[in-house]
Structure 1
C-alpha cells in the first residue's frame, strides 16, 4: 500500500472490488468476469458471474484453469503457477489512475501455452510496467485443454475462446471505472494467445470491441476438427468412457488432466500429432480466421505482429530433441516435408540459403516459416489498415536456446528482473532492449504506431536484439518465396506409407537438401 492512501475501491456491474497500490499503480486481481465453469456449466458457454454484496477483496490472483504441469524438460525454462479453486474465469487490472475521467488506452492480454497451460498469474506478465507508462492493463484466465477446446457431440465448440469473448465484453462494460477507454482497447497475445486474438478480431460477435491487436508468434488459424476429435477419443480410450461432454464432466478432474498430458506428449508445432485448438464452429468462428481477415474482416483494427528468429528452439532444445532430429537426418527432413505438405524443392532451397545449417535447424526453420511466418506475411500483405511487423533476434544466455519462442516476453513486459524471466533468458539480459521493445508496445497501444514504418510492398521488418533496433526490408522473403513456387504442393494428404517415405528420402538425398557431414 502506498503511504497515506487507502486501498483503491471500484464498483463493477457485479459488485465492488478493493485492490492494492503497488509502486503508484492500482492493482485488482482475481475479478470474476463469468461464473465458475463447473457443475452444470461444465463444457458450456460462459455465464455471467453472480453479483455479490459488500466489497470483494481483489488483492490476490484468482484460481487458474485446470491444467497439467509442464514436463521437467520444459519447467526449467517456463513457469506456470497453479492457484486452486473453481472460480477460474477471472481477470486482473493494473491502472495508474482508477478514475472514470482518465480515459486511458487499454491492453487486454491473452496468455499463451498451447491452449493447455499458462495463466494470467505467470510472473513475467506483470502489468505494472504498462500501467506505469499510462496503459490500463488487463490479463485474462480462460478454460484450457479439454475443458476449453475439447470437441464433443453434446456440447458447443470453443468454450475457451468464448471465455475470452466474455472477458472482452466485461472490459467494454466495466473498464471506464478503472480509468480505461473502452474505445481504445488493444487485444494482444503470444503463441496460443496470438492465435486466439486472431480468431477474436475476425469473429463477427467481437466487432466493435477491439481497436488494435497484437499477434506475437502466432497466426490466425483453426485446427482440423478431426484432429481435435482424435485427441478427445484417445483420452476417452484411456479413461474407458464415451467421448461425450456428459461422460467427461462425470470423470475425475485429475484423471482427465493425466490422460490429456499422456495423449498430448508428442504434440508440438514441429512434431504435429493430435492437439487441442480453435475450430470452425459456424457460430463464434464461422470460417477460418486467416481467410476472413485476408478478405477484410476486422476493418479499422490496427495490427502489430512478429516472431522470434529461432522460434523452434523452444520446441526442440528441451529434452534433447534437437540432437535427435539431427541424427535422424533424412527421415526428419522427410517428416517435415510431410508436415508442411511440400516437395523436395523447398528443403533444397533452404539448404542453398543455409548451407551450414544442421538438419534440425533446417527442419525448425521450415516448419516455423510454414506455420507462422508465411500466414503472418499473407495477412500483412492483404490488409489496408496500418500493420507493423517485427523480428526478435537477441539470443538467450541459456545454452542452445537462441532467440527462441517466448523469449521476447520478458522484454515486452520489461520484467527481466523476474526470476521467471531469467529461466528462459539467463542472466544479464540487456535493459536497453527491454526499453526499446516495451516502449514500442506502449506507443502502439497508445496511438497505433510503434515507431517504425508500416508494412508495405518492400516488407519493412523492425529487428530487435541484433545491434540497435533497425529496419530490414524483406528479411524472410527468399525463404517464404520457396513456398509459393508453382511446383510446391500446398494441400493434399502428406506421405504416409513406408514406400512413400523411402521415396521422399531418396529424393532428398539426390536433391542435395541434406547436409553432407
Structure 2
C-alpha cells in the first residue's frame, strides 16, 4: 500500500530497472448524480480513504472486454484514477478522457492503464463521466451537456489535488480519442487549466437543440435503467436517413466543435481505416451494392462528386462506403484542425488501422489487445508503441512530440485524392437528422 495525502493506494511491483508507480483507483471527484442530483450539474466532494478498485461506471448497456459493466443501482459513477511515479515531484499531468460515442465506455478499460506512461514520467489521470441520456440527453429545466460538466469538474479536481501525487497543476495536458477527443476540445475551450491537448480521431459530431429534444421524446427517464433501455430501443429503430447507418443519438449540444485557444498546443492523430472497426463489430449498417451506396450518399446529402469519387477509388461499394463515412466523421475533421492550427498530425496506418487501434500503442497496453490491434504483438509492435508513447510524453512535457508536420505510424499511403474530394465541403454542421420513432411513445414522468 502507499499513501498520498488523504488517499491510500497501492504500489505497482516493477521489474528490475523500472521506475516504481503508485496507483489510486476509484477516487470520487463528485457526488453521485442521482436522486435529487440527477440531471443536475456535478457537485464536488472531498473524498478520502482507500483507492484500490475502479469505481462503478456510468449507466450504459455495453459490455466491453476486460471492463466492468453497469448494473442498476450503481450510482457512485463520478470517479477518477491516478497513476503516479513513486519518487519524482513536479511531473507533467495527462488527463485522459475515454471514447465511446458519448454513450458507452469507462476509465476502467484495460487499454487505458496508465502504468507505462507513469513509468515514463507522467502523472496519468483517467475519469468516468455521465454518458448517453444521463450525460447528454435533453431534460427540460436541467443543463445540457452534463457529461462535459462532469469532465470540467474532474479537471478542476486535478488542478486542485494533483500536487499530492507529484503532478504539476500548471502543466496539464488533456487527451482523448473519438468522443474523448471531442471532449478534450470542449474542455480546453472551457477552462484555462488546460495547457495542451492530444486528440485522436476527432469526431465532427455536435447536435442541435432541436435534435436533442426530438430524441428525448422517445426516452423513458423514470430511472437510469429505463433511460438506457429506451435509448437502445430508439437506436435499433433507426432504419432510414443518416441514423439508419450510424445511430449515434447523444453528444454535445453545440453549434460546432470548438478550436482551443491559440496558446494551447495540439497534437492530433487519426487512423486510416476508421470505420472498418464498426463494420467488423456490426455497429454500422451494411452497404453491399451500388444502389445501397447511392442511397447512403443521398441520406447524408453528400455532394455527388464526393460519392462518385470514393466509388471510383475503391473496388467495392462496401469499401467506398466505409472509407467515405470514416473520412467524413473522423479523418477530415482531424486533418482540418491540424492544418488550421499548424499542429503536428499523425496518421496511424499500421494494419488493421481501424478506429481505436492506435490507443494501446500510445498507452503501451498491447498485451491483451489482440483484437483491437489485429493480432498478438511482436517486436515490431512493441517498438512502434515505444515511439508513439514517447511522442505523448514529449508533448506533455514540452509541447514537442519529437517531430513536426505529418508523421506516419505505419506505412505511408496516398491520401491526396480523397482529401481533394472534400475541398470546399462544410463539415461544421451540427447533427439535425430526422428521428424514427419506436411505436407508441412512452408516458414520461418527472424524474
Q: TM-score range by the shorter chain?
A: 0.7 to 0.9
Matched ranges for 1:474-489 at <5 A = 475-484=414-423
The 3 A distance-change label for structure 1 pair 448 and 126 is same
The 3 A distance-change label for structure 1 pair 301 and 492 is closer
The 3 A distance-change label for structure 1 pair 337 and 80 is farther
Structure 1 gaps, min length 5: 1-6, 237-247, 281-286, 396-401, 455-460, 497-517
Which residue is 2:321 aligned to? 363
8 Å CA contact retained: 1:270, 1:315: no
Please tell me whether residue 56 in structure 1 is matched to residue 49 in structure 2.
yes
Q: Deviations over 1:390-448 (max 9, x none)?
A: 111111xxxxxx3111111111111111x2x1232243222112112112211111221
CA distance in 2, matches of 1:416, 1:484: 37
Please tell me whether residue 277 in structure 1 is matched to residue 264 in structure 2.
no
8 Å CA contact retained: 1:452, 1:462: yes
Which residue is 2:16 aligned to? none
Please tell me whether residue 18 in structure 1 is matched to residue 2 in structure 2.
no
Which residue is 1:241 aligned to? none
Please tell me whether residue 67 in structure 1 is matched to residue 60 in structure 2.
yes
Tell me how many residue pairs correspond in the alignment.
420
CA distance in 2, matches of 1:342, 1:325: 16
CA distance in 2, matches of 1:451, 1:493: 37
Which residue is 2:271 aligned to? 308
Matched ranges for 1:111-510 at <5 A = 111-203=98-190, 206=191, 208-219=192-203, 221-236=205-220, 248=221, 251-265=222-236, 271-273=245-247, 275-280=249-254, 288-290=256-258, 293=259, 297-319=260-282, 324-326=286-288, 328-339=289-300, 341-352=301-312, 354=313, 356-383=314-341, 387-395=343-351, 402-417=352-367, 419=368, 421-429=369-377, 430-454=381-405, 461-466=406-411, 475-484=414-423
TM-score, normalised by the number of residues in structure 1: 0.75
Structure 1 stretches of 4+ moved >3 Å: 265-270, 319-322, 488-496
Which residue is 2:82 aligned to? 93
The 3 A distance-change label for structure 1 pair 320 and 159 is closer
Cα distance, 1:254 vs structure 2: 2.2
8 Å CA contact retained: 2:40, 2:143: yes
CA distance in 2, matches of 1:61, 1:493: 34
With 181-190 and 223-232 compared, the bigger mean Cα shift is at 223-232
CA distance in 2, matches of 1:66, 1:17: 26
TM-score, normalised by the number of residues in structure 2: 0.87
Cα distance, 1:358 vs structure 2: 1.2
Higher relative contact order (CA 8 A, sep 6+): 2
The 3 A distance-change label for structure 1 pair 492 and 409 is closer
Structure 2 gaps, min length 5: 14-19, 435-447
8 Å CA contact retained: 1:189, 1:197: yes
CA distance in 2, matches of 1:491, 1:37: 31
Cα distance, 1:483 vs structure 2: 2.1
Which residue is 2:39 aligned to? 43
CA distance in 2, matches of 1:407, 1:186: 21
- Aligned Cα RMSD in Å? 2.7
CA distance in 1, matches of 2:431, 2:133: 26
| Helix, strand or coil at the partner of 2:364 | coil
Which residue is 1:514 aligned to? none
Cα distance, 1:320 vs structure 2: 9.0
CA distance in 1, matches of 2:196, 2:68: 29
8 Å CA contact retained: 1:314, 1:404: yes
With 362-371 and 208-217 compared, the bigger mean Cα shift is at 362-371
The 3 A distance-change label for structure 1 pair 215 and 230 is same
The 3 A distance-change label for structure 1 pair 139 and 315 is same
